[in-house]
Amino acid sequence: MTKLLSIRLVAILAGLGFALVALYSFVVGAFAFLTEETAPHLPYEEPRDFAFSFDGPAGKWDVQQLQRGLKVYDEVCSACHSLKFVAFRNLSQIGYDEGQVKAYAAAKQVPGIDPVTGEATTRPGLPTDYFPSPYPNAVAAAAANNNAIPPDLSLITKARGDGTNYVASLLSGYQEPSAELLAEHPEAAPGPGLYHNPYFPNLNLAMAPPLSMDGQVTYDDGTEATIEQMSKDVAAFLTWTAEPTLVQRKQTGWPVLIFLLFATVLAYLSKNQIWAAVKPKKK
């Protein structure tokens, strides 16, 4: 009996100890939150709504836009940003045939091994290869970009809030800070090696405007390559790289919803049929 009481006492004390620790942690955390001095909020702008073709439950890819976006990435963005989760063969999903994919891959140089010496080298790409990085490692990337490593773009639209509109807004949004902004927030003035962009939370970023003038890229389909058009096209392409099954997922959702609705109605009718002969008791 005494042993049982001792065990219970130890259990109670242990539980009380855990409760006190949890209470202490809560009080300390709440105090730190209430007394924390936060940096002043810079008035960045929310992304613009560009109304892409794949928006909404019935959205679809604009294949021509995706191909234009690939061209913008290839001729502008690929100089600094990798696309390491996308293989050349994936381009068949946006309207390129087998021969075009092979030709595109062969025009790229990817890391390889010399079969004779065993040393690292480069070779023409194959459809099974992935888009190569423009830098051999992170140190080289930082050294070439003012100590800021350019992010991989494979999943960039999934990694940012309202990612597609954010990318398009950011690329087309470079401008000089207004006098009113600088008067109210002097810290918003871009420092050395920084560029003002109202859609970036810090208002200033190390990436120079990649799309600096209209006609920077020549589209094969004759579309006028304005800065806004190029921004929209590459944002759409990066949405595809981040979620290539986006449209298929939406298309699959409709049959699933219809099935669930049918199953719900069927279950309701079955319940009524099963319990039809059971009368409720009178009070």
Q: Does the structure show a pLDDT above 60 at 215?
A: yes
Whole-angstrom Cα distance, residue 283 to residue 281? Answer: 6
Higher pLDDT, 280 or 90: 90
Q: Which residues contact 163 (CB under 8 A, 6 or more apart)?
A: 156, 157, 239, 242
- At residue 118, φ and ψ (nearest 5 deg) are 80, 5
Whole-angstrom Cα distance, residue 237 to residue 134? Answer: 19
Structure tokens at 92: 């068949």
What pLDDT was estimated at residue 183? Answer: 85
What pLDDT was estimated at residue 130? Answer: 95
- Report the share of the chain in percent with pLDDT over 90: 49
The verdict on pTM exceeding 0.85 is: no
Q: Does the structure show a pLDDT above 50 at 283?
A: yes
How many residues comprise the chain? 283
- At residue 112, φ and ψ (nearest 5 deg) are -150, -175
Higher pLDDT, 202 or 87: 87
Query: What torsion do the CA atoms of 84, 76, 193, 170 make, to the nearest 10 degrees?
Result: -80
Whole-angstrom Cα distance, residue 47 to residue 170? Answer: 8
Whole-angstrom Cα distance, residue 53 to residue 188? Answer: 35
Q: Does the structure show a pLDDT above 90 at 178?
A: no
Structure tokens at 253: 């959702």
State the CB neighbour count (10 A cutoff) for residue 157. Answer: 23
In Å, what is the CA distance from 188 to each residue of 138, 185, 194, 197, 207? 29, 6, 11, 10, 16
In Å, what is the CA distance from 100 to each residue of 89, 95, 126, 154, 254? 10, 10, 12, 21, 34
Q: Does the structure show a pLDDT above 90 at 116?
A: no
Among 73-77, 145-149, 199-203, top mean pLDDT goes to 73-77
What is the identity of the amino acid at 263? Answer: A
Whole-angstrom Cα distance, residue 251 to residue 59? Answer: 9
Least confident of 33-37, 59-63, 142-146, 270-274: 33-37
